[in-house]
Amino acid sequence: MSTPTKRIAFHTMGCKLNFSETGTISRNFIQHGFEKVGYKEKADIYVLNTCSVTDNADKEARKLIRQAKRRNPESIMAIIGCYAQLKPKELSKIQGVDIILGASEKFNLLNYLDELSINKKTKIVQSDINDVNRFKPSYSSGERTRTFLKIQDGCNYTCSFCTIPLARGKSRSDSISNTMTTAKEVVKAGAREIVLTGVNIGDFGNGTDESFYDLIQALDALTGVDRIRISSIEPNLLSNQIIEFCASSNKIMPHFHIPLQSGSNKILSLMRRRYNRELYEERIHKIKDLLPNACIGADVIVGFPSETDAEFSKTYNFINELDISYLHVFTYSERENTEAIKNKDIVGFKKRSERSKMLHILSNKKTHYFNDKFLNSTRPVLFESIKNGKVIGHTDNFIQVQVDGDSGLINKIQPVNLEQNYGSNVFGTLK
């Protein structure tokens, strides 16, 4: 680049996978002499890595674009991520957007900048998603303690509500050998915990003779890293073999995030999910039998078409009875080019909101109950940040903990006695 002292700012929306990819793209700019600054600071180039899971995500992206341009009207505004792949023409109509890069082109952003003229016609560079088949290894940067390691991308599932296959393409992953090389880079950078991330990580190795089970065995033998955490895995891909290996490992944390989406078999079928509630329940029981202290989270969608009060009650009661620790609740959002949008048995927005509130309250109760079980016990905590004189970290089983201390604790794993439960986090004292 001809201007190596330019300031560049990144903002990442959405999932851990986006964070891993932003990390790789930002390191490329830093290596070429750019200064990385915060997104709320004045920069010469703003890069927004977008999400498009819900309509709210689209609205938030448009707001962030306008805010950046107000900070520096002469800046270059680059848009990448799922929104960029799905709706480039819609984004190009937003005043101030200079370049929009699709799913495969985003990693070449640096190469396109010299071609740009500010405030001219927006440049769109995008491949047909069906032609996107190359896996690009990535990991998040700037978080010395926990790093998101991308191990898989894309999805071959056809869930009726989801646009991710349209935004990210077919399921693909790297070899175990190459993944281990990237993991060693992460360890060398000082990370104590690696969080495995992707669109459908249980599908790792699809079409090859390697599998997710093979990968976690290899990672378990990796020297220099203390913790490996599985971010999210489909229940139909979470085999007994995987659960049993996790239970036997000292490195793989007792924490699983398993998408549920609905506790009604009728709704699961309409969603085109690849399991029923009985299989999901069996997975939870298997984990708790082997790892009674494990934290288990779930994704749930409320207000899906045809979700009657009775079907929602099935979901609510199912979750209420399950030994899970927290929920990520999503209000159903109509998305173009999905099968679900054809279902005209629509749930009203007021009812969607009511159901969302009910599940958020239930989630808070479950988190409080889970945290309560560990009061007056000692758990290992990896400290990650400091705020208002409190050092914040997570236990092995994903309880957020804060203690009195200073920045010297960050990136250290220390035993902490858990003493006071505040719901979303627990206060403790160092042993």
List pLDDT tens digits, range 171-227: 999 999 999 999 999 999 999 999 999 999 999 999 999 999 999 999 999 999 999
- What does the pLDDT read at residue 4? 53
- What does the pLDDT read at residue 1? 44
Q: Which two tokens stand for residue 349?
A: 């927005």
Q: Which two tokens stand for residue 148?
A: 């998101």
DSSP 117: -
DSSP 252: B
Q: Say if residues 39 and 8 touch (Cβ distance below 8 Å).
A: no
> Cα separation of 253 and 246, whole Å?
8
3-state secondary structure of 230: strand
- Render pLDDT for 92-117 as a digit per residue (tens, 0 to 9): 988 889 999 998 899 999 988 877 75
Domains of the chain from N-terminus onward: 7-127 (3.40.50.12160), 146-372 (3.80.30.20), 378-430 (2.40.50.140)
> Cα separation of 44 and 76, whole Å?
6
The list of the chain residues with pLDDT below 50 reads 1-3
- Tell me the CB-side half-sphere exposure of residue 130, using CA atoms within 13 A: 0
- What does the pLDDT read at residue 104? 85
- What does the pLDDT read at residue 164? 92
* Nearest partner of 192 among 152, 154, 155, 146, judged by Cα: 146
3-state secondary structure of 395: strand
- What does the pLDDT read at residue 132? 81
